[in-house]
Structure 1
């Protein structure tokens, strides 16, 4: 019901690298309620992204201590999605003026926003990034699956800002992304996680 009312009023954006997938208010999926995913790759054969909102209780220091000097606070490992949580995806906000395309260890997603090659020595990144976030696991969609979910009203698509990747732990990223959109999305920014406790 909420998704129908919301998405009928929106101009649709196409998913692609550097775009956010913002879950519809009141989604019935417990895995994606009030989540914001960053699309890292989107092709005809698959789509791949990470959840920016799910922080774990694991400190980066305990699992990948070499990365600690470039990790944004809070310096925790985030849960990027339900798939392959033994793998780690790195995302970075680069410093102002850095040419991402000239950096062999960074893959440009949007201005000042990059996918990090995890084979990199973190010390090589220190002069180029304002912060890195590490994600255990990811979300993936097969051919046409993500587009079907968007058409159904499960997600809306909007450009990412680089600071979305290193947002402080106390922030409500889902609500903040909603508030910066065109109407009517800001009206849903305080939509509760659980309607029964509203």
Structure 2
């Protein structure tokens, strides 16, 4: 049984996490309950421009305007997250937490995109079955930290892992200086 929902929090890969799908990843948890968890990797931009795959949405996304690799699950599908300033609930958007929600990519972008403050599109997602994430946390694979409003739409996603760790207190901030390959140290 899930004691505390991690929805809205960040999972930051520890240096001990050896799965190449999540090396130095920052995952925004979109849902976490007894059925499992799912989220999106915030710091894996792809070279694929949104205009090339979802033309109508290309003007609505936050820079960089590329598709992000949300995780290793269902990479042939897309999902989008967007912020809605002012607490509204526009058509084609479902609140996940705070002012952040999921976008219905089947909705006509010209009708709903103007309501969004920021938006990002992901190919695939990260998913865990019941108890799987809890086991990974127990094994020391992830740091769980609070998300900040700009994390989901960072203009410099490649530096997000270090930036999120650097703003933590105590020893966790020191992990931001961990070398990519400790053997070179």
- TM-score, length-normalised on structure 1? 0.84
Corresponding residue of 2:97: 110
2:46 to 56, 59, 63: 56
CA distance in 2, matches of 1:180, 1:169: 15
> Is 1:119 equivalent to 2:113 in the alignment?
no
Distance 1:90 1:37, change over 3 A: same
Corresponding residue of 1:174: 161
Corresponding residue of 2:29: 39
> Is 1:75 equivalent to 2:65 in the alignment?
yes
2:170 to 183, 186, 194: 183
Equivalenced residues, count = 183
CA contact (8 A) 1:111 1:162 kept: no
**Structure 1 alignment gaps of length 5 or more:** 1-12
Deviations 1:85-105 (A, max 9, x none): 11101011223x233xx3342
> Is 1:135 equivalent to 2:125 in the alignment?
no
Aligned-pair distance for 1:184? Answer: 1.6
DSSP 3-state at the match of 1:21:
strand
**Structure 2 alignment gaps of length 5 or more:** none
Q: What value does the CA root-mean-square deviation take over the aligned residues? A: 1.9
